[in-house]
Structure 1
C-alpha cells in the first residue's frame, strides 16, 4: 500500500512537472508567435563605429515609441552583421564577395527565420540594391541608410526605401572651398567598394568642373589587404605637383589614410586635405593619435538644427539634448570598453528610420479581420508587407534630422553644411555653407553670405602656416622644366640664341628672356628650368607643349592669338598688342621758292597792296604840313609815303602823328594788318603740315588695288592674317627672314609696306628713324606672352609676377634698355622737313636784294652824274641862278606865315 501510495505521489509530481513544462512551452510558443509578428531586422556593420551607433539608435527608437505608448507587444530587434572577417579574404575582390554573400544570408535569415516585418540598415547603396530583389520577392520593406540610392533603383524595386537624406549638395560645398582659394587641380581619394561600380560620386566630379578646376588624379583605395599598396599610392601622389586632396571614404579607411600620409610627410606645409561628411561627422569619436595626424584638415559636415524640439507623438516627449545624453549613456552600457562618441548623422538617420517603422507597426490596418480582434499582435499579423510599406511612406513627423515625410519616395535633401577645421584634440566650427547662398558665419535670416570662404576667419592649415596654401608645389625630385625658345627670330633683340662653340650648351638672351627671368625672381620658390632652341614656326612650337612631347612651356616673342589658345594657356601679356603698317617715304624735292604766296590768292595780295598804299597816302596827305620829314622833293615825299604805308604793318607811328584823323586811320589799319598777318601765319603753317602728311597717305585699300608687295616676318602668324583678315593676295605677300632686311626692301621698293607687330616697331624705329613712319590704324592682336599647358600650376604665379613687373616699373626699364642702344634722332637728318630754310624763301630775298641793288645802282649813277656835270654847272650858275624845287619847299612855311 505504501508502495502504491509512493507510486501515486511520484506520478502526481511527474504529472505536475509535465504540466508545468507544457505550460511553459505553451507560453514560450505564444511569446515567440507574438514576437515574430512584431519582429524587426537590422543589418549593420558591427565592426565599425558607425554600425554600432546605428544599432544603439534603432534600439532607442523602438524603446521610445513602445515604452512611452504603453504598448503591450514590444517588437523584437534582430541585428545581423554585414561584414565578414577581412583576414579570411585573399583580396579585396574576394572580400567584397564575402560581404555580399554574408549580407544576403543575413537578410534571408531575418525574413525566413525571424519573420522580420521590415529591415533597416545597409550603409551603402550597393548593399541596398544587392538585397532589394529579395525584399521585393518577400514583400518586406528594405529601409536603406545610404545617403544616395539611385532613382532607378527605387523604381525597379518598390520595397526599397531610402530612409536617409541626400547629401549630394556637400559636393558643391567642397567645390566652393576649392573655388574660394583658387586651386586649379585636385586629387580625389575614394573608397572602391565594388569593382563593378565606381565609388566616386559623379556629383563631386561635376561640381569641381563647374568651378573651373581640374581633377589631377583619381585614387581608388580599399580598406582590405593588401595594405602595402596604400603607402605606394600615397607616395605616387606625393611625387606629383598637386597638393589638394579630397578624401571621400569611410571613417575606417580615412584613419588609415591620414596615419600613413602623416608618416610620409604629406600633412606638412602647402598640403590641403578636405573630407566629406562620412568622415567629418565622426571625427569626434577618433582617438588622440588619429586626431594628431589630421591637423589642418578641412571638413564638410551635415547640419541639423539642434534647437530643442518637443516630440509629442503617442504621448511621449523628449528633446534633442535628451536624445544626445541618452544615446551616450546607452552606448556606454552596450559597449563599456569603448570611448563614448557623439551620435552623428548616421545614428540620427537610423533613429528616424526605426521610428517611422515602429509608428507604422503600431497603426492597425483597415481590415475586416481586425474588427473583432482586441489583440494588437493578432491584428498586426493580418497586415501584409504592402500595407506596411504604405504606412512607412505616409510617415509625417518631426525627426532628429528634420521633417520626416516622403515626397516622390524621397526625403528632403540636406542643403546646409558646417565647415570645420581639425585643430588640437578635436575640431572647431568655422561657419556654414548653404546651397545657392554661399558661406556665412551663422544661419540666421540676417546673415551675410559670400562666395568666398575667407569671410569665415582664419583657417589652420596643415603644417601650421596661416597663409592659404597654393595647392601645388614643385616635386621633391622634380626635373628642370624644358622650355622651348624660337631658334631664329626676325628681331634678335627679343630672343637671341648663340653658341660659343659647336656642341656647347646654347646661350639664350634678349628682351623676352629678361622678362621671364625677372618674373621667376618674384616667385616664392625656386623653379629649375632649361632653354631648348626650336627650329620651326611658332605654331609648331606651341603645339609641342600641347602634345607634351618636348617642352613644358614656351618663352619668347610668342603672340597670343586664338588658335594657339586652343592648345595652351598664356600668361598675362608683357608687351603692347597690335599690328602696324610701316612705310618709307623719300622727301620730294619740289620747287617751293614761291611757297610764301600760297596762303593768299592773287586778288588778296593785290587788294592788300592797294589798300596799304591808299592808307599811306591818306596819312601822308594829312600829316604833310605838320611833319618836315614829309616834305622835300616829289620823289622824297613818295618814298616817305610808301615807307609810312608798309611800316604800319609792324608798328604804330602814333608819336609822330599830329592829327587825330590820321591816328584813327592808323589804328584801324593796324588792327586789320594784325588780322592779315596772323591769318597768313596760320595758313602757311597748315599748308606745310598738309604737305608733310601727304607723304604718308598710304592705306590698305590702295595697296591691294595697286597689287603692291607687302612684307611680314617669317614663321609668324602675320602672313596668314594678311591673307585671311586683310584680304591680300598670297603672291603679294613677301616673307622677310630678318628685321634688318626691312629697310633695304622698303627703300628699294621691293615691298611697299611692312606689317610688323607693335613691340618690333619700337625697336625698328629706334634703329631706322629716317624716312620710316607708321601709317594707318593698328590692328588688334594679342601681345607677347609665355605659353604653358592648360591648368598648369605655374601659370597663375608667373602671370601675377608679370603684373608685378609692370606695376613696379621694372618692365618699363627693360623696354627702355631695349631701345637705348639705338639713338636715331630726327634732328640728325640732312633734310629736316620741319624747318623752313633758304630754299623756301629765296624769292623774297631776290626781291628785297634786287630792290637794294637797284637803289644802290641809282645812287651810284646819280653820284657819278653829279661829279661829271658839276664843273659846267658852276659857271652857268654864276651867270643866272634859279631856285631849285628843294629850295622852294624850304621857303614854303615862310610864305604861308606871310
Structure 2
C-alpha cells in the first residue's frame, strides 16, 4: 500500500514537471526574444505577471482566461506596440508562496502589474509589496474590506462587491423560518477583522440568532476542523453558513461528511467564493457536498459576447489541458478575463507617453491611474471603477442546489425584490424561496429540515423554571415530598404546558426548577442562560420581552379592580313588577279583557246584572275579565261556549299566577348588593390603599401607569390576604389579572365584585430564550390545546370545585317575558275566538230563519237593536238554546 502511494506521488510530480516543461516550451520563443530585448534594451521590456493556484481547476481556468484576454485585446484593437508578455506563477493556494512568486515577477521579470490572488489572504501578503515597488496588484478577490485600498494604494480589486449576498443568505433563512444559525468563517489575518459584519447584520434583520461563530484558519489541520465540527454536532442548531475560501471549504465538507453531518436535519449554505467554484471541484469533493444550497453572483449567459467566449475558452482549455475535464465557465473565469483586458487597456491608455514601455516608478503610478480610469463592457457587465475605487456591486444572485456531479439552478434573488424563477422581465418576485420548487436537502428531499434538533447528548434536559411563591396556588403549586425533598409541581399552568408538550411531534425531556423570587427575576434567568424556559402564571409584559420571548397566551389578558360591598336585602317599592317584563304585563291585560268580553257577550242574556246602561255594562265586563284570575265562576255560566273559554283561561291564569309568585319570592329572598360604584379617581384622590400581588408587575404598573402613590400600594403575599384586607377596609380595592379575578370570585362570591375598566395587559404565556427553536412549536401546540377544547376543560376544572363558580349578581336576574307563555296565550286566545265565532254564527242563523224574518227585514236598524236587547229577543234566543 505505501508503495502504491509512493508511485502515485511520483506520477503526480512527473506530471507537474511535464506540465512545467510543456508550458516553458510553448513560451520558449517569446522568452528567448524577451531575453534578447532585455540585453539590448533592459529598461524597455513590457511584461505582466499573474499568480494563480494551478492545483485547482479554477486557477487553471483563470490562467487560460487571462491569456485569451490579452490575445483578444491586441488582435481586435490592432495595438501591437505594447503587446506584453504574461508570466504566470503557481501559488498552490499558499499565501506565502504567492508573495514569493509576486516578488520574483517584480524583481526578475519586471512585471508592470500582477493579476490574480483569488483568495484575499494571498492579496494581503502581496499588497505591501506592490506599495513598495509601485506595481499595481489587481486582485480577483471580492472579500477586500473598504479600508484596504487606503492602506495599500496600489491594490486594485477587479472583482465586484458581493456584500448583498449576505442578504440573500438571510432571505433563505427567513423563507424556511430557521431561528438559529452557525457561521463558519475563515480567519486568516487579524488585520482583516475576522467575520464580515454584513452577514451578522443581515441575519439579525430577519429575526434569527447566530448560535455559534466558528473561525477556522486555512492552515487548520483536519484534527482541528474535526474538533470544531464535533462541538457543533452536539448542539441543537443544524443550520450552517460556510463563508470561507474554496480550499478550506473542501476540507470542512470532507470532515462533515465523514462525521455524518451531511445527512437528514442538516442545512448547509455556502457563499459566493465557494459556490462560484463548485464546478471546479473534483468528483470526491462534489460527493461530500450533496444537498448544499449556494449563493453566487449572477452574470448574463445569453449575450453573443459570452457565447463566443465560452466556445473559444473550452477549445483553448482543451488544448492546454487535454486530460482534464471540460469545465463550465464560472464567475472567476470571467473576472480574470475582464481584469486582464482592463490592464491591457490601461497600458494603451497613453500611447504617446515618453515613459511607455520603460520601467520606473512614474510609470507604475501612471498605470495605476489608467487602470482606475478604464471603462468597457466586460463579460461580467460594465467594468468601471467608481470614485471609491470599486466596481459596481452585484445585486442579483443565483440560488443553486448541489445535486449529482454538479449543481442545478433553482432561481434567483434580487436585492429589494426577493426570489424569482426567472431573471428576465417581467418576473414574479416573492419573499419566500418556496416558489423556486423542490430543494434536494442533505439526506433527501422529503421534508424541509427544522433547522434544529434535540442535542445528541442523552443527558441533556431542558431546565424549566417555575415560580416557587405563586400567590394563587391553583395556577402553580410547589410542594416537597417528605422523603427526599423533591419538588412536586402542580397547577393549571403546569397542566396547560403538559397538554402542549403532548401535541409536539417529538419528545422533549425537561426538569422543573422552583425559583424563589420575583417573576421579573425569574424571566431574567432565561436571558443569562441559567434556565431554558419559564412555565407558570407569567404575564406577558414589554420589559420582560427584553430578556425572553413568550409563547402564544394561554389565559385571558387584562387587569381588573376587585372591591367588597356589604350585602343587604332589597326593599324597592316596585320590586313586584320585576317578575314580568313590561310586554308580558301588557299582553296579559289585553288577553284578560278579550276573554272577559267573550264571556260577557255570551252570558249577558242570562244575567240581569250584565244589562243596563253602557257604562254599567263596560264596568261589569272589565270586572269579569280580572276576577277570573282569582276565582272560579264555572257554576254561574249557562252557555257551553262560555264554559269552554273560561276553563282554558282559568288554566292559563293558574300557570301565570304561580310563575309570578315563584319569581317574586326569589327576588324577595335573595341578598342584594348595594349599587355603590367605586372608580379609580375616587381612590386616588382619597388616598385609599389598594392591594396587589407582591411579586408581579402590577406593583410598578399601578404606580407608573394608573398613578397611585407608592405608599398607597400594599403588597399582598398570599391569596388569603385579600378577603380579610378588603372586608376590614385595610385596602379599598385589589388589582388582579383577569384569570386571578375569575378564580377569586369562584371562591369568594358574596360581597365581592369587579368595578371600573379593564386595563389592557398581556395574558399568561410560557417564556423561552430568544430565538429558541422550541418556541414556534410550543406556540402552535398552545393554539391546538385551545382549539381542541382542552384548555376550556382545564379552566372549568379549575373553578368547578368552588361554591361560587357561577356567581352572579341579582341585578342580572332575567324577568319572564312573552316567550315564556306564548303557547298558552295562543291556546286561550284561540279558544275564546272559536267560542265567539260559534256564538255569532248561531245568532245570525237564528235571526234569518225566524217566521217573522220577512217582517223583520222592513224594520229599521234602530228597531233591530231594541229587539236584540229587548225581552222578545231574549225569549227567542233562550228557546233556541
Q: Same fold (TM over 0.5)?
A: yes
State the TM bucket, normalised to the shorter chain. 0.7 to 0.9
Q: Write the mapping of 1:558-577 to structure 2, written as runs, cut at 5 A.
A: 558-577=538-557
Aligned to 2:480: 499
Q: Write the mapping of 1:359-438 to structure 2, written as runs, cut at 5 A.
A: 359-362=345-348, 365-367=351-353, 384-408=363-387, 409-438=389-418
Equivalents in 1 of 2:145, 2:53: separation in Å? 22
SS at match of 1:37: coil
Q: 1:194 and 1:728, CA in 2 relative to 1: closer, same or farther beyond 3 A?
A: closer
Aligned partners of 1:269 and 1:465 also within 8 Å: no
Equivalents in 2 of 1:388, 1:773: separation in Å? 89
Aligned to 1:42: 50
Aligned to 2:505: 524
2:317 counterpart of 1:331 = yes
Equivalent residue for 1:30, pick from 31, 37, 42: 37
Superposed displacement of residue 131, structure 1: 3.5
Superposed displacement of residue 643, structure 1: 6.3
Aligned to 1:487: 468
Superposed displacement of residue 266, structure 1: 1.0
Superposed displacement of residue 731, structure 1: 4.4
Q: 1:279 and 1:827, CA in 2 relative to 1: closer, same or farther beyond 3 A?
A: closer
The alignment's TM-score, normalised by the length of structure 2, stands at: 0.75
Equivalent residue for 1:819, pick from 784, 794, 799: 799
Aligned to 2:768: 788
Equivalents in 2 of 1:379, 1:541: separation in Å? 76
Equivalents in 2 of 1:417, 1:389: separation in Å? 30
Equivalent residue for 1:207, pick from 202, 207, 228: 202
2:99 counterpart of 1:76 = no
Superposed displacement of residue 436, structure 1: 1.3
CA RMSD of aligned residues (A): 4.0
- Per-residue CA distance 1:52-87 (angstroms, 9 max, x = gap): 222121111122223455665542111233358x7x
Q: 1:650 and 1:566, CA in 2 relative to 1: closer, same or farther beyond 3 A?
A: farther
Equivalents in 1 of 2:802, 2:296: separation in Å? 66
Q: Which runs of 5+ in 1 are unaligned?
A: 1-23, 87-95, 310-318, 371-376, 599-619, 657-683, 838-892
Aligned partners of 2:270 and 2:292 also within 8 Å: yes
Equivalent residue for 2:564, pick from 573, 584, 590: 584
Q: Write the mapping of 1:227-242 to structure 2, written as runs, cut at 5 A.
A: 227-242=222-237
SS at match of 2:754: strand
Equivalent residue for 1:727, pick from 698, 704, 707: 707
Equivalent residue for 1:178, pick from 160, 173, 176: 173
Equivalents in 2 of 1:122, 1:153: separation in Å? 15
Superposed displacement of residue 558, structure 1: 0.9
Aligned to 1:160: 155
SS at match of 2:567: coil
- Per-residue CA distance 1:763-790 (angstroms, 9 max, x = gap): 2222333333222211111111111122
2:217 counterpart of 1:222 = yes
Aligned to 1:716: 696
Q: Which runs of 5+ in 2 are unaligned?
A: 1-30, 579-599, 630-635, 637-663, 817-870, 873-881
Superposed displacement of residue 200, structure 1: 2.0
Aligned partners of 2:186 and 2:194 also within 8 Å: yes
SS at match of 1:205: helix
Q: 1:474 and 1:33, CA in 2 relative to 1: closer, same or farther beyond 3 A?
A: farther
- Per-residue CA distance 1:142-189 (angstroms, 9 max, x = gap): 222121434443345443322111111111111111111121211111
Aligned partners of 1:364 and 1:379 also within 8 Å: no
Equivalent residue for 1:351, pick from 326, 331, 337: 337
Equivalents in 2 of 1:564, 1:25: separation in Å? 78
Aligned partners of 1:696 and 1:775 also within 8 Å: no
SS at match of 2:563: strand
Equivalents in 2 of 1:556, 1:52: separation in Å? 64
Aligned partners of 1:37 and 1:381 also within 8 Å: no
SS at match of 2:696: coil
Aligned partners of 2:110 and 2:359 also within 8 Å: no
Q: 1:518 and 1:247, CA in 2 relative to 1: closer, same or farther beyond 3 A?
A: same
SS at match of 1:725: helix
2:64 counterpart of 1:64 = no
Equivalents in 1 of 2:32, 2:409: separation in Å? 58
49-58 or 258-267, which deviates more: 49-58
Aligned to 1:605: none
- Per-residue CA distance 1:102-130 (angstroms, 9 max, x = gap): 44443333223212222212224454354
SS at match of 1:507: strand
Aligned to 2:516: 535
Equivalents in 1 of 2:413, 2:523: separation in Å? 42
Superposed displacement of residue 40, structure 1: 1.0
792-801 or 448-457, which deviates more: 792-801
Aligned partners of 1:44 and 1:82 also within 8 Å: yes
Equivalents in 1 of 2:576, 2:34: separation in Å? 137
Q: 1:469 and 1:628, CA in 2 relative to 1: closer, same or farther beyond 3 A?
A: same
- Per-residue CA distance 1:794-840 (angstroms, 9 max, x = gap): 222211211222223222222222222235377999x9995999xxx
Equivalents in 1 of 2:812, 2:317: separation in Å? 100
Q: Write the mapping of 1:869-880 to structure 2, written as runs, cut at 5 A.
A: none
Aligned to 2:284: 289
Aligned to 1:443: 423
Superposed displacement of residue 306, structure 1: 0.7
SS at match of 1:695: coil
- Per-residue CA distance 1:702-746 (angstroms, 9 max, x = gap): 333444443323322223333333333444434333334534443
SS at match of 1:419: strand
Equivalents in 2 of 1:548, 1:122: separation in Å? 44
Superposed displacement of residue 593, structure 1: 5.9
- Per-residue CA distance 1:11-37 (angstroms, 9 max, x = gap): xxxxxxxxxxxxx99996237657953
SS at match of 1:172: helix
SS at match of 2:169: helix
Count, aligned residues: 730
Superposed displacement of residue 232, structure 1: 0.4
SS at match of 2:376: strand
